[in-house]
Homo-oligomer: A and B are copies of this chain.
Amino acid sequence: MRDIDIAEVAGLSGVRASTLRFYEEKGLIASHGRRGLRRLFDPAVLDRLALIALGRAAGFTLDEIGRMFAPDGRPRIDRKMLATKADELDRTIRRLNAMRDGLRHAAVCPAPSHMECPTFRRLLRVAAAGKMETPKKEPAKSRRKS
């Protein structure tokens, strides 16, 4: 059996069926045919989904990711863009490090109020100054097979 159906893709990739349909509609993945109504996918879709997950994790939007695939479907990733994103990640990481240290300190700081702690106030300045990419909450993660 060459092709796998949407439930299998969902099972193997951890991506929900509704998301797979959404991705297909967006042109991020393509189904290869149908058995009845059921979409059939080439197993290579799993690589594609991994690629999409990678892009998302690196901070690309779905549209940006979509643009990384040539119209014929081959991934054609701009190396310069990758380097740029890496630099961006680097800056984000540096800030998050400062944040984490500050939070960690604040958690054990003996000052009666956080506002009286010099370390905390320094942290505040970092936060107020540097507009950073704000991390987002995880996507609800409602479990399938409820």
Contact = CB atoms under 8 A, between A and B. Distances in A.
B82 A103 contact: yes
A29 interface: no
A30 interface: no
A142 interface: no
Given A56-B127, A77-B114, A134-B136, 14 more contacts: A54-B127, A57-B99, A59-B134, A59-B135, A59-B136, A75-B115, A79-B108, A82-B106, A82-B107, A83-B103, A85-B103, A89-B100, A133-B138, A136-B136
Interface of A: 13-14, 47, 49-51, 53-54, 56-59, 61, 74-75, 77, 79-80, 82-83, 85-86, 89-90, 92-93, 95-97, 99-100, 102-104, 106-108, 113-115, 123-128, 130-138, 141
